[in-house]
């Protein structure tokens, strides 16, 4: 199980439901979880999720898990993550949702990401501020 740029629900009912769901999924998959960060300097809720699941942390300097390609974004150590088996792109902050559409972050050329013809794009951020 890959968990990319994780953000946990706030404490309370949402977090409790999430904990039950992730425990169920980990049991069903019967394998290790990996928390992947598209930026090493922005761990979001990685520590909390690792404590909850026993997941290992992956940062951009580490070798990627099998089936995963790391795409440097040219901004420090920021990367996008491509899962070939799932044709899924996790662009970190390189692409965001704005007005219901995917838009590149300022200074980002999206062509290397979109050239892979992803079937699924899972952005890490919603509306961008200028």
- What CATH number is attached to the domain comprising 50? 3.60.15.10
Residue 129 inside a domain? The answer is no
Tokens describing residue 76: 């420090």
Residue 71 inside a domain? The answer is yes
Residue 47's SS3 state is: helix
pLDDT classification of 76: cutoffs 50, 70, 90: confident
Residue 29 inside a domain? The answer is yes
Residue 58 structural domain: 2-121
pTM: 0.84
pLDDT classification of 102: cutoffs 50, 70, 90: confident
**Per-residue model confidence (pLDDT) at position 84:** 93
Beta strands per DSSP E along 1-130: 2-4, 34-36, 56-58, 68-72, 79-83, 88-90, 95-98, 101-104, 120-121
Number of domains the chain is built from:
1
pLDDT classification of 129: cutoffs 50, 70, 90: very low
Residue 127 inside a domain? The answer is no
Residue 128 inside a domain? The answer is no
């Amino acid at each position: 199980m890959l968990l990319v740029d994780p953000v946990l629900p706030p404490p309370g009912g949402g977090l409790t439901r999430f904990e039950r769901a992730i425990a169920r999924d980990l049991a069903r998959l019967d394998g290790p979880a990996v928390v992947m960060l598209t930026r090493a300097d922005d761990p979001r809720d990685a520590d909390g999720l690792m404590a909850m699941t026993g997941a290992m942390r992956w940062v951009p300097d580490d070798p990627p898990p099998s089936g995963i390609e790391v795409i440097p974004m040219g901004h420090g150590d920021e990367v996008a993550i491509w899962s070939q088996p799932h044709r899924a792109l996790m662009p970190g902050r390189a692409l965001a949702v704005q007005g219901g559409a995917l838009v590149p972050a300022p200074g980002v050329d999206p062509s290397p990401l979109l050239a892979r013809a992803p079937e699924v794009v899972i952005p890490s951020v919603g509306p961008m501020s200028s």
